[in-house]
Structure formats: structure tokens, C-alpha cells
């Protein structure tokens, strides 16, 4: 298939998330005219805590999502450019022949490496004086390259290209090993302040088993990475020669997609990982020595506080306690998450005294390596409805903690929250977030914020708008505003201040003891 001579009018945004991949066609106005969403159901777990995926299978999901779009009346010749946004920190190793050496290691993977112990003495001294040695040790332990060095050294030695998922998909589309600056989030030797690979003198080269020669060349967000090859065109249905534009990571595109560009407007993602982000022209570390990530606007930064398991916990609740909702969802052909709103309707703010801290995994800035979640306050009248409300409230409390930490470090008060992600579709969840954070919450009818952000980048790159900022202003749409409930706000403030905030400190010593006990 070859590019058409007529003027194409759509941007194809490919949003490769953790739970699904979506191909979305957007007009310059911001209207999404077609969407094909495919679930990602075939993750592999070779050992407890490990998460992998067949690399070729990831590409097949992308091609299938594109092919699904053409069944909805969209013509490939209507597409002007394609922009890829993906889950972050998923690692792929390619050999000299550009073939995968092993399955992709997915960002949720929990395997850990032993410390490399290769930091020069002066770096060890500096980190000790700054009291951040634990942060550096965690960085080394989490790095996939270090695990490969220790467990699969021959494979790492044969790695010619060490890529994120974004770099791999852009390579499959263009045939060139390039990636976007905006996608570089992970355990990599990346300088988040300079938006480039680290200088040779940087400590990260000692802490990571990554060879500089294996890393891709990086391009600014919004520039052209290349064009769709003949082979990619055959598999996706896209026109040969179609421009492939450098996008950004999914969270960065979400921030852009909801138009959270003012420093006082926060983007809250109710996704697999829940985050609270702000956009800034100046580099600020909200948690000391935890970076601000590249924004979807060149040269800018996104502060971020994560709740690692986030709204994945809704899936956990459904799996463990939601048999009734799953069965009804099958009968009524609706998403089971929609039915969970009935549990929120049955309960009052405060969940009858149940308090949940959503640290199902350690969270940097909130816990140490002993990090665990907790639910306290059970009495004989509590039901699973109370547990579910406590879960949603606990996520909101964690986001409030992130809000306060961000405001302290940036010296900027937040005035509004813009929601995105699957959890944002619930009126009850949106109201709880507004009440707990005591801020107005805005959300959009089109919940595909990450895909919309990618489309904004593409529309600006094609000259349909004079800049990415202008594209955001013109394509974001009109949000619906939800105000805090004045009756609920004092209740949540008291719970947060008197119970939620001191809770982890009270349990920390017990969690440390649990670490030494048999599982």
C-alpha cells in the first residue's frame, strides 16, 4: 500500500498500555473517530513475581490493533502520521541481527539483582554523606540489566540493542533503531535533567550493566523518527512512507492529553499505577534524588508521585471478592468495574472506620524495602462494600500525600485536578478523589487521555497546530467539573490527618520483623 495523494486528515495514536493496546484515530479538533482496543492477556510468569511477554507477540498486538481500525470504516490513506505511546520501563534485548534474545521484561516484574559493588569510593562517600545510599542501592537492585548481568551474562554480552518497548515498536515501524526523549523512563543511564544519555563521568554507568553502544539514538518529542517501511505496511495496513513521529511515555501523554500544562493544575491518572503529576519548565525532584521525567513537550518536565499498584487494586478486589460482580457482568455484558459503584453507593465516607494503606509493594518516598499494605479497624458489621470503599479512599489518601509533597517541593499550590484512566470513569471514584484532596476535579468524556496526548503531538508535528501546547489547547475538549462535597471534606481531613498519615510509622517495625519470618 502506498501513501495517497489526497490530504490525510487523521492522526493514528497507538497507546500500548499494560492491560490493553489501543489504536485511535483523531481529527485535528481532538475528536476520536475510531478505536480498536485489544486486551493483553498473555503475560508469562516463569517464577513468582516475574512478568514477561513474547517480544514478537507485542508487535503482533500493535499490527492487529491497526488492522482492527480498518474494519471500522477508516481508510489507511486518511492517516497523516502515526505516534506511539507505551507503558514505561519495559526492557527488550536485541542481537546484531535485530532479533529478540529473550522475552521482554515488563515494568511490573519484581525480580531483583544483587548489588554490583562497582561504585568508586568517592561516589560511595558522597551518597553516604547525603544519606541516599538506600536510593542508589534500590536503583541497582531494580535494574533489569544488572539481573541479566548476573543471571544471563552471555545473553547480555550478545545484546546489540538495549531498548524500551517504545524504541522497539518505533524500530519495527521504521526500520531504524531510534527512540523519543519523552519515552525514557526506567532503570537506564539517562540524565533526566539534560534529557540525554548520561555523561561518561556519571555514577549511573558504574551502577548499571549497560553498554553505551547498545542504547538508541534519541530524538526530541514531535520530530520525525522515520517512515513506515514496506514490511511494516504489509503487516499493519499503514501506507508506506507514512511519517512516524516521536511520542512520549504513557503518563507524559496523559498529562498532555488532559491539558494539565499549568503548574497549578495536576494530572491524576487512575490507571494500573496511580500517579499525580504536574508540568514544569524547571527541573524539580519532588522526592529527593527521584527524577522529574521528560514531559510530552520538549524541554519540559513532569513531577510525579506514584502509587505503584494503583487502580490495579480494583482488579485485585474483583479477583478476590468480586465473584458476584464478575458473574453479573457476564450476564449483562458490562464491565464488572461499573458494578462496583453499587458498593460505594452502599457506604458512607470513612468506610465505617476501615483504613487502607495501598502499599501492596514498597513505594519510594513513602516506605522502605519492608513496604507492605494494611487494612485496620475491622468490626463485626463490616462487609466487602466497606473494604472496597476503604480501598478507593486509601488510593485517594495516597494521592493526597503526593499532592502535599509536590506542593512543598515546588512551592506551588494546586488549584484543580484533571483525571484520566479507567478508574476516572466512575462518578463515585471521581467524587471521592475531589473530597479527599479537597480540590475540584475535571474529567473528559473521552477517557483516552494518553492516546489523545499522542495525537496532539502528531497534529503539531504535521503543522495542523503551531505547537504542541496549541494542539493541547485546541484538542483537549471541555471537561466536566466535580466539586468537593463540603459534608465529606472534614471527615476525610480528620481521617487523613489523625489516622492515615501516622499509620505507616506505627506499623513499620512490624513489617521489618515480617521480612525475617518465613512466608
The full DSSP string for 441-478 is: EEE-S---HHHHHHHHHHHHHTTSSSSHHHHHHHHS--
pLDDT of residue 6: 58
CATH topology of domain 10-250: Nucleotidyltransferase; domain 5 (3.30.420)
pLDDT of residue 514: 87
Per-residue pLDDT tens over the stretch 465-488: 999 999 999 999 999 999 999 999
In this prediction, residues 446-451 reach a mean pLDDT of 90
CA–CA distance, 449 with 255 (Å, rounded to integer): 8
Strands 52-53 and 104-105: antiparallel
Using the predicted structure, report yes or no on whether residue 60 has a pLDDT greater than 50. Answer: yes
Using the predicted structure, report yes or no on whether residue 5 has a pLDDT greater than 70. Answer: no
CA–CA distance, 98 with 161 (Å, rounded to integer): 8
Say which residue the cell 490493533 belongs to. 65
Using the predicted structure, report yes or no on whether residue 171 has a pLDDT greater than 80. Answer: yes
pLDDT of residue 257: 97
CATH topology agreement for domains 10-250 and 312-439+486-515? yes
Per-residue pLDDT tens over the stretch 192-240: 999 999 999 999 999 999 999 999 999 999 999 999 999 999 999 999 9
CA–CA distance, 186 with 198 (Å, rounded to integer): 13
pLDDT of residue 371: 83
pLDDT of residue 360: 82
Under the banding of pLDDT at 50, 70 and 90, the label for residue 3 is very low
Under the banding of pLDDT at 50, 70 and 90, the label for residue 2 is very low
SS3 of residue 122 by DSSP: helix
Tell me the Cα Rg of the chain. 23
CA–CA distance, 54 with 46 (Å, rounded to integer): 12
Check if the beta carbon of residue 94 is closer than 8 Å to that of residue 163: yes
pLDDT of residue 150: 98
In this prediction, residues 256-283 reach a mean pLDDT of 95
Max avg pLDDT among 84-93, 285-294, 367-376 = 84-93
- Give, for 15, the enclosing helix (H) or strand (E): strand 10-16
Check if the beta carbon of residue 270 is closer than 8 Å to that of residue 310: yes
Using the predicted structure, report yes or no on whether residue 241 has a pLDDT greater than 90. Answer: yes
In this prediction, residues 110-130 reach a mean pLDDT of 94
CATH topology of domain 312-439+486-515: Nucleotidyltransferase; domain 5 (3.30.420)
CA–CA distance, 6 with 105 (Å, rounded to integer): 42
Under the banding of pLDDT at 50, 70 and 90, the label for residue 519 is low
Task: Give the residue extent of every domain in the chain.
Answer: 10-250, 312-439+486-515
In this prediction, residues 91-107 reach a mean pLDDT of 98
CA proximity to 81, closest of 455, 351, 340: 455
Residues 6+ apart with CB under 8 A from 191: 197, 198, 199, 202
- Give, for 304, the enclosing helix (H) or strand (E): strand 301-307
Amino acid at each position: 500500500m502506498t501513501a495517497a495523494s489526497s490530504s490525510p486528515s487523521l492522526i493514528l495514536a497507538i497507546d500500548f498500555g499494560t492491560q490493553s493496546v489501543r489504536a485511535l484515530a483523531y481529527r485535528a479538533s481532538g475528536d476520536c473517530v475510531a478505536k480498536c482496543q485489544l486486551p493483553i492477556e498473555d503475560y508469562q510468569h516463569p517464577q513468582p513475581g516475574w512478568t514477561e511477554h513474547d517480544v514478537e507477540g507485542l508487535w503482533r498486538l500493535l499490527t492487529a490493533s491497526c488492522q482492527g481500525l480498518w474494519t471500522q470504516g477508516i481508510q489507511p490513506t486518511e492517516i497523516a502520521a502515526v505516534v506511539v505511546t507505551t507503558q514505561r520501563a519495559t526492557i527488550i534485548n536485541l542481537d546484531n541481527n535485530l532479533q529478540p534474545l529473550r522475552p521482554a521484561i515488563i515494568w511490573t516484574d519484581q525480580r531483583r539483582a544483587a548489588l554490583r559493588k562497582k561504585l568508586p569510593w568517592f561516589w560511595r562517600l558522597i551518597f553516604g554523606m547525603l544519606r541516599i545510599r538506600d536510593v542508589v542501592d534500590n536503583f541497582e537492585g531494580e535494574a533489569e540489566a544488572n539481573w541479566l548481568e548476573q543471571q544471563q551474562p552471555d545473553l547480555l554480552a550478545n545484546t546489540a540493542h538495549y531498548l524500551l518497548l517504545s524504541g522497539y515498536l518505533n524500530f519495527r515501524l521504521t526500520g531504524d533503531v531510534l527512540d523519543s526523549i519523552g519515552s525514557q523512563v526506567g532503570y537506564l543511564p539517562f540524565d533526566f535533567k539534560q534529557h540525554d544519555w548520561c555523561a561518561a563521568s556519571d555514577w549511573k554507568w558504574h551502577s548499571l550493566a549497560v553498554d553505551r553502544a547498545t542504547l538508541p539514538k534519541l530524538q526530541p518529542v514531535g520530530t520525525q523518527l522515520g517512515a513506515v517501511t514496506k514490511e511494516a505496511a504489509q503487516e499493519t495496513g499503514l501506507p508506506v512512507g507514512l511519517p512516524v513521529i516521536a511520542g512520549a511515555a504513557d503518563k507524559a501523554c496523559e498529562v498532555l492529553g488532559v491539558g494539565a500544562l499549568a503548574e497549578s493544575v495536576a494530572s491524576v491518572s487512575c490507571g494500573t499505577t496511580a500517579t499525580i503529576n504536574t508540568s514544569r519548565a524547571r527541573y524539580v525532584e519532588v522526592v529527593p534524588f527521584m527524577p522529574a521525567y521528560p514531559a510530552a513537550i520538549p524541554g519540559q518536565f513532569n513531577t510525579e508521585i506514584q502509587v505503584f499498584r494503583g487502580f490495579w487494586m480494583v482488579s485485585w478486589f474483583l479477583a478476590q471478592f468480586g465473584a458476584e460482580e464478575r458473574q453479573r457482568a457476564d450476564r449483562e455484558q458490562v464491565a464488572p468495574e461499573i458494578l462496583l459503584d453499587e458498593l460505594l453507593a452502599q457506604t458512607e465516607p470513612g468506610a465505617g472506620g476501615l483504613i487502607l494503606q495501598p502499599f501492596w509493594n514498597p513505594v519510594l518516598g513513602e516506605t522502605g524495602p519492608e513496604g507492605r499494605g494494611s487494612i485496620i479497624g475491622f468490626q463485626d458489621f463490616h462487609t466487602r462494600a466497606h473494604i472496597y470503599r476503604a480501598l478507593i479512599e486509601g488510593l485517594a489518601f495516597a494521592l493526597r500525600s503526593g499532592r502535599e509533597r509536590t506542593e512543598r517541593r515546588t512551592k506551588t499550590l494546586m488549584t484543580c485536578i484533571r483525571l484520566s484512566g479507567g478508574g476516572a470513569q466512575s462518578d463515585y471514584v471521581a467524587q471521592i478523589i475531589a473530597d479527599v484532596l479537597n480540590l475540584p476535579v475535571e474529567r473528559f468524556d473521552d477517557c483516552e487521555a494518553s492516546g489523545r496526548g499522542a495525537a496532539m503531538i502528531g497534529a503539531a508535528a504535521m503543522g495542523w497546530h503551531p505547537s504542541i501546547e496549541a494542539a493541547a489547547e485546541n484538542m483537549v475538549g471541555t471537561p466536566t467539573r466535580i466539586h468537593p462535597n463540603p459534608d465529606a471534606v472534614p471527615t476525610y481531613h480528620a481521617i487523613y490527618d489523625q489516622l492515615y498519615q501516622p499509620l505507616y510509622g506505627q506499623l513499620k517495625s512490624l513489617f521489618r520483623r515480617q521480612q525475617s519470618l518465613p512466608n
